[in-house]
A and B are shown apart, each in its own frame.
Chain A
């Protein structure tokens, strides 16, 4: 029973840490499927987390915080879009630039406005997302096996957690079952064909980039309004890059993204749990190895040793209409 409780605890924290990864990786899915590579997920998430923390602290409203997060993240996405779609600059360079601009300015502005060493004030009550308790969750907790699964694993998460998991099938439906999705995928594979059909490549890519901004906004808001009670400087701590790794590991497919994010989240949760505790059969595993494992796995996958990850064909190439 003790082992069972440990497993439930690990799985519960797996869900908690994989939510921002799911949001961010789905965000990346939309732009990358449209042919705009984005290594600025980290920066957008961080900017959104800061905006959410700052606005929720000032207004005391969690919804205003979420709106601010989405607004800032979309604005940053549009900068990326302007540089890489309109100005046809390097998408990688633009993403790197956004990461730095946000990393610096969240600290500078946070310190100037709140004077708490780069933090925003701690949030409480309506300024923060509350957990949702399913009906009868408390009543059935004592039922063996199913009880803890229902009341600890499924119930008791933030509303954004459920939003993240619902977004997975929803993204699949948008990308694979709507006209917009078909065109979006086409523009990432062969923009010339889309242009010939009389559809604006530029506008389509901008819409994809805006979708990415909205989803990164959710990711950031989850970090500062749900997972923690406020913004802490550098709080994304590489999650944007792990999401990028998950996106590649999932071969740019929605359902795989959820599984990859859960896997990377599980490694993270396990690393925290195993700190100092030897693993049966294997013995002591260095925490650093666990932390590096998502990256190592992605490299191995990219090398084609576990299946093959083929990126969208027109990804990274600015579209030039005519010469």
Chain B
């Protein structure tokens, strides 16, 4: 399908339009705050202060951002191949099994740097496995990946309730969770990184998996723009018929892309399980898979956009907790609204302001052309 809109300069395409969409989303969110009878500017102040005011707050912001980088990358990789993976939530949840198994097996005998690589492999493998089925079903049986991944989210949640209440829970304990991991199952915090900037991490769980997230973001960039597979993925995403004509195996790409996407989603489980709670709890994903959709849309599916978008959502999560503390009328559900609005304006309505911005650029272009002509004459 040809693009019905005029081409814009890259900085407008990747900077201005997302920014305008984001501002509109926040203005609408501000209206909701007004409706509740609070001052939106005060709420914004509390949010920014709560997210960046202290080393500990920044640590929490980046801890949440780590999670969202993984899920954002997961959704973005699938986007590039024209697939919409709504199942990052379930894949991350199942990925937790891989982390928990590695930790439960070795945490008493091995140091963290031995357990960590195994947990990475485990989480990615379980996440990929959970995404493999929807991928395979789309590739071979023609069932749409959007619907199957939604279904798989629910199946994952039932499965995990079963596993955590019946299988992984230690005897004689009431809460549906695994036992607490020993030192080998606990990731070191990144206080040295923070102290370079003169900040104190405090109690925040900002940990090594942040570096892994950055590495994964770089890996995704290499994959999408520097490898043959990435080229094939993008071809399929832009035009499935062109991909077919060029002899690119659609089924193979679909399955591989879904597995990569699921693997990235699964790796998200490392951050909360090994980095904060040191055990696997019920519902540890807490909607991060869905935040990934907003992050990928806002970051325009590019790692360089996903990282700031993830930090923004980290800010919303951490700052949102502070708002809830300062202004009881605005609970953390405000974040869910903002998340929805970002998805709406940066995703479904991304073209709403494009004609206006395009016209503005066209008229500026014409005026400067006329100016150049008159100067020439």
Check B331–A111 contact: CB distance below 8 A: yes
In angstroms, Cα B114 to Cα A58, docked, is 61
Check B334–A108 contact: CB distance below 8 A: yes
Check B36–A109 contact: CB distance below 8 A: yes
Mark out the residues of chain A between 274 and 323 whose CB falls within 8 Å of any chain B CB in the assembled complex. Answer: 286, 288-289, 291-292, 295-296, 298-299, 302-304, 309, 311, 320, 323
- The size bracket of the interface on A is 35 or more
Given A108-B32, A302-B141, A93 and B331 contact (CB-CB distance below 8 Å): no
In angstroms, Cα B35 to Cα A315, docked, is 36
The answer to the question of A177 belonging to the interface, with a C-beta cut-off of 8 Å to chain B, is no
Check A292–B159 contact: CB distance below 8 A: yes
The answer to the question of A56 belonging to the interface, with a C-beta cut-off of 8 Å to chain B, is no
Check A104–B36 contact: CB distance below 8 A: no
The answer to the question of B94 belonging to the interface, with a C-beta cut-off of 8 Å to chain A, is no
The answer to the question of A94 belonging to the interface, with a C-beta cut-off of 8 Å to chain B, is yes
Check B334–A87 contact: CB distance below 8 A: no
Determine, out of A2-10, A189-197, A205-213, A237-245, the stretch whose residues face the partner at the interface: A237-245
**Dominant secondary structure of chain A at its interface with chain B:** helix
Check B290–A96 contact: CB distance below 8 A: yes
In angstroms, Cα B171 to Cα A121, docked, is 41
The answer to the question of B137 belonging to the interface, with a C-beta cut-off of 8 Å to chain A, is yes
What are 5 residue pairs bridging A and B, where the CB atoms are less than 8 Å apart in the complex? A99-B340, A100-B290, A112-B36, A238-B154, A295-B154
CB neighbours of B35 from chain A (8 A): 109, 112
In angstroms, Cα B36 to Cα A123, docked, is 23
15 further A-B contacts with Cβ under 8 Å, apart from A89-B351, A108-B337, are A90-B84, A90-B347, A97-B340, A100-B340, A101-B340, A101-B341, A103-B336, A104-B334, A105-B333, A108-B329, A108-B334, A295-B154, A302-B143, A302-B148, A323-B4
Mark out the residues of chain A between 64 and 100 whose CB falls within 8 Å of any chain B CB in the assembled complex. Answer: 79, 82-84, 87-94, 96-100
In angstroms, Cα B345 to Cα A83, docked, is 9
CB neighbours of A302 from chain B (8 A): 137, 141, 143-144, 147-148
Given A100-B340, A302-B141, A89 and B161 contact (CB-CB distance below 8 Å): no
Closest residue of chain A to B28 (Cβ to Cβ) is: A101
The listed residue (A97, A102, A104, A238) touching B347 by CB distance below 8 A is: A97
Check A96–B330 contact: CB distance below 8 A: no
Closest residue of chain A to B287 (Cβ to Cβ) is: A100
Given A87-B351, A108-B36, A292 and B339 contact (CB-CB distance below 8 Å): no
Check B155–A108 contact: CB distance below 8 A: no
Given A112-B36, A241-B154, A289-B158, A299 and B143 contact (CB-CB distance below 8 Å): yes
Closest residue of chain B to A245 (Cβ to Cβ) is: B151
Identify the B interface with A (CB < 8 A).
Answer: 1-2, 4, 32, 35-37, 84, 86, 137, 141-144, 146-148, 150-152, 154-155, 158-159, 161-162, 166, 290, 293, 297, 329-331, 333-341, 343-344, 347-352
Closest residue of chain A to B350 (Cβ to Cβ) is: A89
The listed residue (B32, B148, B336) touching A299 by CB distance below 8 A is: B148
Chain A 111-124, CB-CB to B under 8 Å as 1, else 0, gives: 11000000000000
The answer to the question of A107 belonging to the interface, with a C-beta cut-off of 8 Å to chain B, is yes
Minimum CB–CB distance for A131 against chain B, Å: 31
The listed residue (A87, A93, A104, A295) touching B335 by CB distance below 8 A is: A104
Minimum CB–CB distance for A44 against chain B, Å: 13
CB neighbours of A109 from chain B (8 A): 32, 35-36
Given A100-B336, A107-B331, A241 and B150 contact (CB-CB distance below 8 Å): yes
Given A299-B137, A303-B143, A320 and B330 contact (CB-CB distance below 8 Å): no
The answer to the question of A248 belonging to the interface, with a C-beta cut-off of 8 Å to chain B, is yes
Minimum CB–CB distance for A76 against chain B, Å: 11
The listed residue (B32, B151, B338, B344) touching A83 by CB distance below 8 A is: B344
Check A244–B150 contact: CB distance below 8 A: yes
Most buried by B among A89, A94, A104, A286: A104
Check A292–B158 contact: CB distance below 8 A: yes
Check A92–B158 contact: CB distance below 8 A: no
CB neighbours of B2 from chain A (8 A): 323
The answer to the question of A49 belonging to the interface, with a C-beta cut-off of 8 Å to chain B, is no
Check B331–A87 contact: CB distance below 8 A: no
In angstroms, Cα B293 to Cα A12, docked, is 40
CB neighbours of B166 from chain A (8 A): 286
The listed residue (B334, B337, B348) touching A89 by CB distance below 8 A is: B348
The answer to the question of A39 belonging to the interface, with a C-beta cut-off of 8 Å to chain B, is yes
Minimum CB–CB distance for B23 against chain A, Å: 17
In angstroms, Cα B343 to Cα A96, docked, is 8
In angstroms, Cα B204 to Cα A214, docked, is 47
In angstroms, Cα B162 to Cα A84, docked, is 38
